[in-house]
Structure 1
Amino acid sequence: MLGIADYGAFCAAILVFLALPGPGTFALLTSTAKGGFRAGAAATAGLILGDQILLWLAVAGVAALLAANPAVFHAVQYAGAAYLAWIGLKLLFARPGSASPIRIEPRHYLRQALLITVLNPKAIVFYMAFFPLFIDPATHRGGVTFAAMAATIAVITAAYCLLLCAFANAVSAQVKAHQRLAQALQKLAGIFLVGFGIRLGTS
């Protein structure tokens, strides 16, 4: 289909990638918990924009550049890992009742999710290594093929993330009613983000 080797498998791979817990999922859930469905939708837009940036960078040949220059790839890995760990540490050491270490203004949700996606080595690996596997050299149609893949990723990501936001928003009221639980969840999110940073930085 339009130069995509196996469109069904391509869609399934996107869903599997989205379902794997990662920094993007935590950014989405945190945004929804702090600002409701609207904030979650803004974070979803940030994730989609980040995905599109990585996809088109792969199209432009950045994959070959990173493969030929391991030091560049490692620099991107370390930058992403440090950024995630920094967010996690701010969550861990936030004082009870203090302002959130992650800005809660709606305009920042999109920016935060965008940066997390672009600097997430897991996403970079997906687009730089896995994404080209679905291009059929025999039926490839250039920009049309890439545009179809980009649109498919955007639509599936939007549908999945918005459903996740709706679910998170439905249970957020119960979390907000218990401040100690909310603080515990914030600390847990911080631990996970620091863990992601350490794991990605040492892998």
Structure 2
Amino acid sequence: MFGHALGITDIWTYVFGVIFIILLPGPNSMYVLSLAAQRGVKAGYRAACGVFVGDTVLMVLSAAGVASLLKANPLLFSVVKYGGAAYLLYIGTGMLRSAWRKLRARGDAPVEAPQAVDGERPLRKALIVSLLNPKAILFFISFFIQFVDPAFPHPALSFVVLGAIAQCASFLYLSTLIFAGARLAEHFRRRRKLAAGAASSVGGLFIGFSVKLALATMS
């Protein structure tokens, strides 16, 4: 009843679908987790804010019809896609370089508490990762549209409600990752090799994400 009053056809199916999709590992969630593990809860939430802003922008663009523009313009899709892939590759190689520096250190000496890296802005970096993904725009419109009642006179309201539900689920999930990462940070600070192994694993995942995005198609 609540969903139909807002122009949403099957709100509970949507909720469970969103939860399942958010739980799938992706570059945003892995970046937030790795940053929280390296620099603590505060930095993790700054990165999470970048994810929230990026997803909100993508939802608005989807509702405004940008997905149709991307589908109709393969060149534009390719430009955004390869730009996003290059940025993910840049992040991944940066993490691998950081892991290599840790491995060159002697033994398992304690790692100093992480300091802010000059020029590294978690919110901005997470925002760029979110926005440089044309597949996300296509996903939002293709997923959301299934749950919007075409007869509802105010479809924008339906999109707002669907977006708010997705953001709430994302907030809860990213918060869990942030505090889990902060717990891991204590172990990483005591063992340099463990920290290097974790950084190299996440860096490898980002390189994999970049390849996956570069090979993505509009279908």
Q: Do they fold alike, i.e. is TM over 0.5?
A: yes
Q: Does 1:68 align with 2:75?
A: no
Amino acid in structure 2 at the alignment position of 1:86: Y
Matches within 5 A, 1:2-13: 2-13=6-17
> Are 1:96 and 2:109 matched, yes or no?
no
Query: CA-to-partner distance for each residue in 1:20-64, whole Å, 9 max, x for gaps?
Result: 111011111111012211111111111111110000001111011
Count residues with an aligned counterpart: 199
Pair 1:179 & 2:188 matched: no
User: Which residue is equivalent to 2:59?
Assistant: 55
1:30 aligns with 2:19: no
Aligned to 1:146: 159
When residues 106 and 18 of structure 1 are mapped into structure 2, their CA distance, relative to the original with a 3 A threshold, is farther
Aligned AA for 1:17? I
Judged with a 3 Å threshold, the aligned counterparts in structure 2 of structure 1 residues 158 and 106 are, in CA distance, closer, same or farther, namely farther
Which of residues 101, 115, 118 in structure 1 aligns to 2:131? Answer: 118
TM-score for the superposition, normalised by structure 1 = 0.89
Which residue of structure 2 aligns with residue 164 of structure 1?
177
RMSD: 2.1
How far is the alpha carbon of 1:3 from its aligned partner? Answer: 1.0
- Work out whether residues 42 and 106 of structure 1, in 8 Å CA contact, stay in contact via their aligned partners in 2: no
Displacement of 1:134: 1.9
4+ residue stretches of structure 1 with deviation over 3 A?
103-107
CA distance in 2, matches of 1:66, 1:128: 12
Task: Give the Cα separation in 2 of the matches to 1:39 and 1:109.
Answer: 7
Other structure's SS at 1:96 match: helix
Does residue 42 (structure 1) correspond to residue 55 (structure 2)? The answer is: no
1:79 aligns with 2:83: yes
The answer to whether the 8 A contact 1:35-1:104 is kept is no
AA aligned to 2:29 is T
Separation of aligned partners in 2, 1:14 and 1:162: 16
One-letter amino acid of the counterpart of residue 67, structure 2: A
Match of 1:189 in 2: 202
Gapped runs of 5+ residues in structure 1?
Answer: none
CA distance in 1, matches of 2:64, 2:138: 15
SS class of match (2:40): helix
Q: Counterpart amino acid of 1:134?
A: F
